Structures are given as structure tokens and as C-alpha cells.
Structure 1
Amino acid sequence: MDRVAKLASQKAVVIFSKSSCGMCHAIKRLFYELGVGPTIYEVDEESRGKEIEWCLMRLGCNPSVPAVFIGGKFVGAPNTVMTLHLNGSLKKMLRDAGALWL
């Protein structure tokens, strides 16, 4: 858990993903289109990827990816991120974390 918390707190937006996951691709694209350059960890390419996945599942991610952290805090999986985007809360969270300036 400490490894995930440390990785998640190093940048304003961190996404744990898998390179072959379609939903992961969609979430990454959403952030890019919002003008955010998230730090992305592809767990299927990480040497300790299985450990990271296990920690994400303990946080409540099922499936384990994509998992989004903003300002070091776990935001959630795609349903939560999309809900925040649609109701306008996501941009405020990104501004508060220093990931967006507009």
C-alpha cells in the first residue's frame, strides 16, 4: 500500500493503467483532452505490477485498473471519474491539485 500511496502522491494526476485496456485508454484520453498530462503507470509493464494491482483492489478498485488519483487522493474508477466530469467537479479537482490552470 505504501508504494501505491507514494507513487500516487508524486504528481498532481496519477493513473494506474494497463496498456491493453480499452477503458484505461478512454480515461487517459479524457485527461489529455482536458489539457492534463497525467503520470501513467502501466501495471502490466511494471516489475511489481501484480503487487500494485493487489493494492489497488484493496482500495476498492475492481477491476484494479484504471485507477485515478488526483492530488494524491484516490478518486476512483471510470464510473466515478466520468460522473465527476459530467457534473463539472473534475475540473475543479484538477485546478485544486495544480493540474489545470484555467
Structure 2
Amino acid sequence: METVKRLISSGRGVVIFSKSSCCMCYTVKVLFHELGVSPIVHEIDQSPEGKEMEKALKRLGCKASSVVPAVFIGGILVGSTNEVMSLHLSGSLVPLIRPYRVLSGKHAQA
């Protein structure tokens, strides 16, 4: 549990816990990159502590059926794919990530 909390709080704003073979994780990572954010991604299936991290994410409020992707913005659990996409479609995601966007090219204007 402490490892997960440390990883969340030491991030640059957007932290994603993912599995390398998960298509929904890939979709969420691409979305953040398209919005100009370079999230810190922890591939729990490639970590020796992956099973413990998954248990810790469940204790932090991630749904048992969809532990990954687990997206944290500013140290706060946003949720998984459904929650992130709902925020994006409602126009609420960009204001949340604005402080963490890379200011270059097309992303500086949006």
C-alpha cells in the first residue's frame, strides 16, 4: 500500500497504473498524450510488486472488475476508463489536467 501511495504522490500530476496488454489502458494513455499530458505510467504486470499494487489499488477505491487503468490526477483517484472518458466527453477533463500539460505546439493553444 505504501508503494502505491508513494508512486501516486511523487508523480508529475497524472499517474496511471496500467497493464501492458490492456487495450483500455492503451486508450487512456493515448488520450492523455493527445491532450498534451505526459503521464507517469506504472505497468503493474511488469513489476515484481504488481499483485500487491493491484490489491492496494482496490483498497484505494478502484473497482475490482476494472482495477486498471487506475488514473490519479493531482494525487486523487479519478477512476478507470469509464470515468476518464465521461470527464472528457463532458468537458471536465481538460481543466483538471491543465496544470500538467506540456506547453508546446498545438497543446499550448488549447
TM-score (norm 1): 0.91
Structure 1 gaps of 5+ residues are none
SS of residue paired to 1:15? strand
Deviation at 1:2, TM superposition (A): 2.2
Aligned equivalent of 1:56: 57
Of 87, 94, 97, 1:94 maps to 97
User: Highest CA radius of gyration, 1 or 2?
Assistant: 2
Deviation string 1:35-87 (CA, Å, 9 cap, x unpaired) is 11000000000110110000111223222110000001111111110011011
Looking at structure 2, the residues matched to 3 and 74 of structure 1 have their Cα atoms a distance apart, in angstroms, of 16
* Corresponding residue number in structure 2 for 1:65: 68
Q: Which runs of 5+ in 2 are unaligned?
A: none
Q: Which runs of 4+ in 1 moved over 4 A?
A: none
Q: RMSD across aligned C-alpha pairs, in angstroms?
A: 1.2
TM-score (norm 2): 0.85
Identity within the alignment, % = 54
Distance 2:91 2:52 in 1: 33
Once residues 33 and 16 of structure 2 are traced to their aligned partners in structure 1, the CA distance between those partners, rounded to angstroms, is: 12
Q: After the TM superposition, which residues 35-46 of structure 1 pair with which residues of structure 2 at under 5 Å, given as runs? A: 35-46=36-47
Q: Distance in 2 between matches of 1:87 and 1:39?
A: 24
Secondary structure at 1:68's aligned position in 2?
A: strand
Contact 1:9 1:73 in 2 (8 A): no
